[in-house]
Each structure stands twice: as C-alpha cells, then as structure tokens.
Structure 1
C-alpha cells in the first residue's frame, strides 16, 4: 500500500485529499461491507460519499449492466435514441412533482448544477444568483462560484454575481425561536433584494440538507418562505438534491418536500447510479426547452449508466428504501443522542433519515475541533467502520450508509461509533 500511496502522490494533485493516516485501497465489496487490499473488511457508513446507495454487488444492478454490455454498445451519445435513457427520464419526471417536466442527463452533480445555472440565467437574462451560506454545489467554475463554504472555494473569480443568504446557520441565533428565525431570514432576503441586487435575479440554488457543510438543515418551511418572496420577483428556485434525493432523508423522497414547496428545477446525481457516473436536471419543460443554442452530452445518460440507474431506481421503489431510511435513521440518531449525552467532545448530533452528523468540539471551550474529528475517523476505521467528515470547520462526522442497511448493521455501526467517540475523550 505504501508503494501505491507514493505513486498516487507523485502523479495526483496535492489537493486531492485522502482519508486516514494510512489510506486504504478498497478492492471488493458486497452488501454494506467492503474489503481493502490488506484483507480487512469494513462496514461502510459513507457509501462512496452517498453514492453506492444500494450497497455493493447488487444482482439487479449488475445484471442490468451486463445485459447492456452484452449488446456490444456501451456508448452512443445523445445524438441517438437511447431507450433506457428515455425510460429513466419518464420515471424521474413523474417522481419530480414538477408539471410538464423534462430531464437532461449529465455525468455528475457538478455538471447538473452547472446546467441548472445555465437554465436559470438564460431564462432571466441575468447573472445574479442567490445561494445559502455554508453550501457546496461542486468543483467546477460556476458550481464553485455559488458554493458558500470557504474551504471549498479555490477562486474568487466567478461567472455569476452571487449573494448569500442565511438558512442553516440557525445555531448563530440561539436567542430566536424557529418561527422568529424564519421571519428573520425572510426579512433578510427582502433586504438583499432591495439593496444588494439589481432587478431580474436569476435564481436561488439551495441544498435542502447541506452535504459537505456537515448535514446542516434549515428549519422546515424556510424554502417555502423564500419561495413566496422569490415569486414576487419572478426568481426561480433550484433544489440541489444531489445528496438528498431518492428518499435518503426518510420522511420525503426529495429533500425539499420537507419545506412544502415544489421547485422550478431539481438537480440529482450520486446514488442514482449506485456507483455508475450519472447526474441530471429535471425542470419545467418550457424552462428546459428555452436554451437558444444546440446542446449535447457525449457521455451523459449513456446506455450503461442509465441501465444501472433504472435498475437502481426500480429496486429502491420496489423495496421502499425510503421507509427503511426513516426507520433506521431514527434508530441511529436516537441511539447516538442517548449514548453521547455525557461525552464532552460531542457538540451536536443531528440527522434526517440516513444522513447523520456528529459535531466534535474542544471539551474545555466548546470550539469546533477538526483534530478530534480526524481522530474519531481513525478510531472508527480501526474498529472496522468507514465514515466521512465535513462541516464548515471540518469538525463534523458524516454518516450516510447505503439505504439497504439492516437493523443489525445499524446497531453494529452505532456501537462502533460510540466506542470511537468514547476513545477520544
């Protein structure tokens, strides 16, 4: 492994970070478990950053991909009809709740968000975009420009003119009730529109649950409050569902449904392909059709990726994995909250379905502690559990297991998490 690590460092950029003091190479997987090149097996509670949504070596997905490969056609491009692409688009359009919806497929969430920005800025003939503080929307030029997390912004240059709103920074206003905070945020949006922007703002882009930001969540209903104000000005609402889609939050199929509002545009990616590269945009048909120039996607929605995605979506719906996320998410978050009550290194535990987060803080002053988060990551790995981290200060543990997680595996992972947290106290 040390040889592979040295080769990685020689040819890969230094900013392409690796987890762990001794990074691992995952060489096989089945169910919710993976095995590294040293033969160690781990329960996976991060799913390739929420991407292997059904887990590993799922027969239905594997067989769909193999059927497509046996045709000899792995690629044709969007210049030709692709049956699995059309069928998948029909399903997603129906599930979106957006009237007269159309779908465009990409290879990633970053590309999907770029497309959403293109649709909105073209429709409104404006480069002005609203986004939330602590957000993350991708690593490309435009997606990075609307990212509100300094740790992931490599440039101040921007193709769009961005203004950031409050929303998930609820903890900065402990003196306000949830209702008072919603009113404060709505008033702030009105002030931004009245003072900081010109007319014809293109859109607000928002994650219903901020992924890289540490699974932080605005109070339910905030995006509906914002939508009322946006509608007064003709501003579009874009929901970034790259991490929150497909029932992962448990209570709803799309994260934005917690706010009781339907967006103009939704973006998606990650879990849909269960590891195969696919993303996309679903939007009002007139909005989607309004782009004035030609467009293609060479690889987006290719036959192999859409075959995998259709099999993944069919499996998810047939097995009601949204209900599983709701049930096991409650088990995990309740268990964590009970277990860590007396652990001074834990600042907060939160979760929506199978999106769970634990903030690590200095036990003396309560300041965010990325060092402790890194230590817990190592302790969990040592005990056979893979988890992630994030947050504005890098002090948040992120858990997002495959939606096929069993109750026994949830209980096992919970025990390892608690032991790992206890070990750093």
Structure 2
C-alpha cells in the first residue's frame, strides 16, 4: 500500500512552487515527518515532509518542474526498513540505489561508519553549502538540534579539508600552467531569484523612483552603544546593534510623514497606522526581506531580537512565509558589505526604502573647526507619485537628527 505525497499549503496568495531538490531517491528508506523534497516558492524554500514511514516510491514531479498546491508529486510505499539508518549495503535490496562501480566491492559499513542521526536532514542552506564545497555530509558531525548539520559545520569541514590539502600540495613542484580555458556555464535561476528580478524590474517600470541623500554623524550613537552594550546584553540576552536605532528613527520619520509608510493601490492611497519594517537580509538563495512587525511598539531589545532571529533563519534557510508577509517600509544595510553609497530600489508595493552604508572617519566642519568624525551616508529612495521631494527630504532629515541626537528617540521628537 502506498501513501501520496502532495504539495502542501504554501502560504497566502502563493499557489505554486518549483521542485528545487529531491532529498530522497526512489527505494531509499524514509522516516515519518522526514524532509523528502525542497520546494522553492517566490519567497522562501519549504521542505516537504514524509506523511508516513516507508520506502520512497516514484518521483512523479521532476526537479525544476513547477507544481501547484495539492498536486501529487511522489508516493511512499510501505516497507520494513523504514528507518533512515536501516539501509542495506546490498544495492539489490532497494530499487533506487545504484550498484557499485564495476570491479569493486562495497562492504556494509560498520556501526562506527554510519552517519550521525541528523546527517540526512539538511536545510536548503546546508545542502547548498555541501554541494558548493564538495563535502560529504555523512562525515560531518552536526552541532545543531538533534545532531543536525548546520552551515557552520559544513564551512568548518571545508576549512579543515583545505588545511589538510595545503601541506601535501606544498611538497610538490608546481605543475606548468595549463593553456587558458574559456568556459561557460548555464545555471537555471531559482524561483526566488526570478521573482526578485521581476519585482525589482516592476518597481522601476511602475514607480517614479527618486533618491535623496544625506550624511549622518554616528558619534552619539556609537558612544551610547559603547556605554550600554554590556548592560544591554546582560539584561536582554542580545547585543545592541545600530539597526534598532535606525528602525526607531524611521518610526519617527514615518509617523511625521505618513506618505512614506503608505502605498498606491489603483487610484487610492493606503495609509497604515502601524509600522512593519522589512529588513533586507542576504541569504544563501538570494536577498530576502523578513518583516519586523509593530516596530512602533517594540523596544530596542525587541527589535534586535527579531532581527537576530531572522538573520539566523536566513542563514539556515528556515524562513517561513509568515516571516516575509507584509511590510510597510524597508531598511537595507549595504554597509555591512562595504558600500559607501547606493540608490536602493523600493520593495513593492511599498513606497520608500532607507539605505544604510559603511561608517568611515571623514573630516567635517564643527563650530568652524575641521574635525574627524565617524560618518555614514544614508539614502532614501521613494515613489515620487506618492511622496513629494519635500516630504522625502524631511523624512530623511528626521532620521539624521534622531541618530545624531538619540535622546529624540526617547522623547518622541
């Protein structure tokens, strides 16, 4: 008797996905609720869980194929050796396992050679790292929950592999340089990358984009952070970063300039009496923008905890559709990658995005004297159909003043 594997509900307004990778091949043992496939949606990667224990049956949908919610994509057959660790070494024992290479024998592995319990359950981010660095996951000791392998585990294994290879390579004479080869490689765009491309191009085609710039003296914020970071971390269990300051400063600006927290729908303007900030995060599969909800009500600690949690989820590839839902304004921090200045693109249907950049010491004039201060360029890109230049400049000026005098954040000024 077999059990059907269907595409699960993917989230609000998401009706289809792409088969990104099959994690279990026909004939392999499967445990109940074990990930057997990875689906790529417009926003996140989602694992499909096995509805029962058994043996992986037929793959009805192939990798790269687009499937809809509720569509049948595979079957799971009843079988005796249902536990993942119970696979037999004999290739004839299961239909989907490949025979060993001709002329070689494959003795059954001893108990000490079997992979860790969590080695077969890899998140999308970990799977990408495994493929990228050529690491055998069965030889990596997982430090995550239930012994699961994390991306850091794979990176550590890759570094160890490189370190072992260097001494051996250094003893050999360098081989003559081969003739330069000109190669091309075609890689299918992930569904997420396709969606990002379409949405960004749509923003350019639809909105009247304009960017205004300013610079911020980070002296006061840096001093406040240095003074309270230890006490903050001790009390709240999270580090005090700069993003919470900018989120709070943005709240002040959006309350004073409601158009920057609104969007156009048809011939109407939709205003919000709340502030949900999308925070642009670089993930292995591309740029994602999880949403920190109710930033106008959250404390500094609440904002920092939310951002840290999203950062970890993005790194591990475990962001959910709910994490990405909504958003009335976006903050993108290119400074962490060394960007000096940029013109960020709005995240539709939003009407404005704040771009942060690197902090560097620059000479500025204060009270008639040239002094060196830690300065940052900030940029506000906005939809000129909805936001006038005066409003955009004012919003960015409010953010600048709040960062240069953080007391404004406490007294709502």
TM-score norm. by structure 1 comes to 0.24
- Larger Rg over CA atoms: 2
Bigger share in helix: 1
Structure of greater relative contact order (alpha carbons < 8 Å, 6+ residues apart): 1
